[in-house]
Structure 1
Amino acid sequence: MIAVIYGTRPEIIKLSPIIRMAVAQKRELVTIHTGQHFSQNMNDVFFENLELPSPDYELNVGSKSHAEMVAEALVGIERILLKHKPSIVLVQGDTNSALAGALTAAKLGIKVGHIEAGLRSFDRRMPEELNRVLIDHMSDLLFAPTQTSYNYLLTEGISKDKIKIVGNTIADALKYGLKKSSKITLPPYISPKQYFLATLHRQENVDDPKTLKQMISNFQRIVKDTSTTLVLPLHPRTKQLLNKHAIDTTGLSLIEPQDYFNFLALLNNARMVFTDSGGIQEEACILGIPCITLRDNTERPETVELGSNFLVGSDLNRMVSAISYFEKHHGGWKQPYGEGDTAERIISSL
C-alpha cells in the first residue's frame, strides 16, 4: 500500500499526476489531507478540477503556529499509518504537512519517498528550507527533479543509491492543466500578454508590515510607470494582513484565490509574473513566461541560470531592471523539468 500525504494547494497540484496514475494502475492507496490550507478555493476545488478522489482522511489542522500544525498532524497521521500499515509514504516538497508525514513514517519504520528532493535555497531563516533538509535526510527514496538537486543531495552525504533524477511532476500537471485551461476566458479588463500577474504569500514578504507595504508600493509604481494592469490573486493570509495593517492597494487589480485552471490561464497569458512562490518559478519557466522572483534567493537556481527568472527581493530598482531586460529578451530557454513523464517514473520505481 502507498500512503500519500498532502495539505496545501501546491502539493495537491504536484501530487495529482501520481495519484491519478496510481488509481489507474489500481495500486492500493490511502490519501491523507492535513488541511494545512484552509480556504475552500485553495483546497477542495482542486480535487474536482484535477479529477482526484476525495482524500480518505482529513485532519483539518488549519492555519496555526508551525509547532501546533506539525504536532496535530503528527498525531493524526500516526493513527492512520498504524491502522493501514503502508509499505511507503510519499510526501512532496517542503511544507509542514510533508515534514509531519515524513517524520511520522520514519519513526514507525515505514519507508519515506520524497518527491522534489534536493531543493536548496541555503537560507535557514526560511521554514521551508529547514523542512526540506530534514525530510531529505529521513527519506529512503529521494526523487530529485534535476541534476542540480541530485548534486546537492550527494554533497550532504546522502547515498546515490537512494536518489533518482526523475524530473518534476509540475511538468506532468501542466501538460494536463493546459488542456483544461485553454477553454477559459480571461476577465474582460485584461488581454493576453498585456498584463502583469503577481502572487505574494511567503512570511518574509508579508509578516512584516513594512516589507508588505514596500511590496505593494513597488507594484503600484510599476503599474503607474508602465501603464500596465497588475493582477494579484490574494492568498487568504496576505489579504488578512493587508486589511489588518490598512495597507492601500489602489491601482492594483485584486482578485480572489483562483482554482488551478483559472490561475494557469492567467499565468500562460501574462506578459510577466512577479512571485515569491517556488512552484510558479518552475511553471513560468516551462511555459516560457518571464519570472521576477520577490526573494533574494531561490531553491530553483536552474531558472536563474537559464535566464527565465530574476531575483529582485523587495528592491524596486532591481524589479525595474528585470522588466527592462525581459522586454528585450523574451523566452528562448530550454526548461529542465522533464517532458511530463515524472509520475510514471516515480510510480514504476515503487
Structure 2
Amino acid sequence: MAPLVVHVTGARPNFPKAAPVLQALSAYPVEQLLVHTGQHYDDAMSEVFFRQLGIPKPDVNLGVGSGAHGAQTAKVMEALEELFTQRRPDLVVVYGDVNSTVAAALVASKMGITFAHVEAGLRSFDMTMPEEINRLVTDKLSDLLLTTSTDAIAHLGNEGTAPEKIHFVGNPMIDTLLTHRERFDAAAVRAELGIEGDYLVATLHRPGNVDDPDDVRALVAAMHAVADQAQVVIPLHPRGRARLEDAGFLDHPGMRVVDPLGYLEFMGLVRGSVGVVTDSGGVQEETTILGVPCLTLRPNTERPVTITHGTNQLVTRDTLAERVREILAAGKLTQWPTPPLWDGHAGERIAAVLASSLGAVRP
C-alpha cells in the first residue's frame, strides 16, 4: 500500500504554497489527501484559489470557520485528531504560520505522526504577532523543516535544531507565481475596477495597524498622505474594515476600496501598480519577484531576504509618505536582485525530500 501524505491548508497564503508541492509529489508512488480546515471560508479567500491554481478540490473540508485564536485552533485540532484516527497518515505536511498550521503540528506531534513544515525558520522576533508564536511552536515540533531562505536556516540552527532535519528548498509560492505570471493581466483588472492612471495597492490587516483606535487614526492619516500623491486601491480584508471606515479611511477621493480579489486578479493588480503598501508577509515575497516596490508598514519582517534580495523596505506611518514620494520619482524598476532558489522549482525539491523520508522512489 502506498504511504499516505496529508496536506493541511487553511488560509489564503497556504494555497499558492501547497499547489506546486501537490503537483510535484504526484510523480511519486504516494497517496495524497488534501485537507482544507476552512479557516478562510469565503470564496475570495479560499475556494477561488483552488479553481484558479488548478489545485484538486479538497478531499476533506473541516469547515471550522472564524473565531478567536484559541477557539479556532481548538476546533482544527479536534477535527484533525478525529481524521488522523480514522485515516492515519504516514506524513503530514503543514504550510506557513496560520492557526491551522500550529493546530496540525500539535495533533501530529501528540499522535506520533511524522510531519514536515514548509516555510520553516522564518522569524520576526516579535512575540506580539500570533504568527510568530505559531512559527516557533511548529518548528520546535517538526521532523522535517523546509526553508525558503538562508536566514531561516541560521535561525533554526541558533535554536538548536538538528542540521539533518533542515532542508533548504526555496519558496514554493514563487513556483506558483512564475507558473501563472503571464495570466496576471493588469489591463483587465484596471478595466474591471475602472482604474485610470498610476495607482498603488495597499493590503492592511495586522492587529498592530487596525485593532487599536489610535493606531487606526494614525494609519488613516498616513494613507491619506499617500493618496495625496497617487490613487490607492485597497482590497480590504474583512478584519478591521469597519474600524477603518469609521475612522474616515474613505474620506479621501484618492482612496478606492474593493472587495478581496482572487489570486490572478490580485496579482494582476499588483503587477500593474507603481508600488505596494502592505503589512502582509506573502506580498513582500510576490513583489520581490515582480519587481514592484514594496513598503512594509511594520517595525519588523520575518522575511528579511525580501529587503536584502528584493524590492521591499520597512516603513513607519511617519515615513510612509516620503518613501512613496521617492518611489514615484524613481519610476519603474528595470532590474533588482532575487533570493537564491526562488526559481520555480521549490515544489520539486520539497517533493524529493518528502518522498525520500517515506522511502518512495520516483518511477
TM-score normalized by structure 2? 0.90
Equivalent residue for 2:52?
49
Which residue number in structure 1 is paired with residue 195 of structure 2? Answer: 190
| Corresponding residue to 1:173 among 176, 180, 183 | 176
Give matches, 1:1-350, under 5 Å: 1-23=4-26, 25=28, 27-182=30-185, 185-188=188-191, 189-191=194-196, 194-224=198-228, 226=229, 228-243=230-245, 245=246, 247-250=248-251, 251=253, 252-306=255-309, 308-315=311-318, 318-326=319-327, 327-328=329-330, 330=333, 332-336=335-339, 337-350=341-354
Structure 1 residues without counterparts, runs of 5 or longer? none
Task: Name the count of aligned residue pairs.
Answer: 344
Distance in 1 separating the partners of 2:18 and 2:316:
29
TM-score (normalizing by structure 1):
0.93
Tell me if the contact between 2:309 and 2:337 (Cα under 8 Å) persists in the aligned partners.
yes
Long gaps (5+) in structure 2: 355-363
Q: Distance in 2 between matches of 1:287 and 1:236?
A: 26
SS of the equivalent of 1:190 reads coil
Q: CA RMSD in A?
A: 1.8
Structure 1 CA distance for aligned equivalents of residues 187 and 93 of structure 2: 32
CA deviation string 1:83-142 (max 9, x = no partner): 211111111111100000111001111111000011000111111001101100100000
Query: Conserved in 2, the CA contact under 8 Å of 1:184 and 1:262?
Result: no
| DSSP 3-state at the match of 1:115 | strand
Question: What one-letter code is carried by the residue in structure 1 that aligns with 2:208?
Answer: E
How far 1:27 moved relative to its partner? 3.2
Overall identity of the aligned pairs, in %: 38
What CA deviation, in whole Å up to 9, does each residue of 1:325-347 have, x standing for no partner?
43338453211152010000000
1:288-315 deviation line (CA, Å, top 9, x unaligned): 1100001010001112224621211332
- Residues 257-306 of structure 1 show CA distances to partners (whole Å, capped at 9, x for unaligned) of 00000001011111000000000001101111100001010001112224
SS at match of 1:128: helix
Note closer, same or farther for the CA distance 1:137–1:296 as it changes in structure 2 (3 Å cut). Answer: same
Cα drift, residue 71 of structure 1:
0.5
- The answer (yes or no) to whether the contact 1:92–1:114 under 8 Å persists in 2 is yes
Q: Following TM superposition, by how much is the alpha carbon of 1:320 offset from its aligned partner in structure 2, in angstroms?
A: 2.4
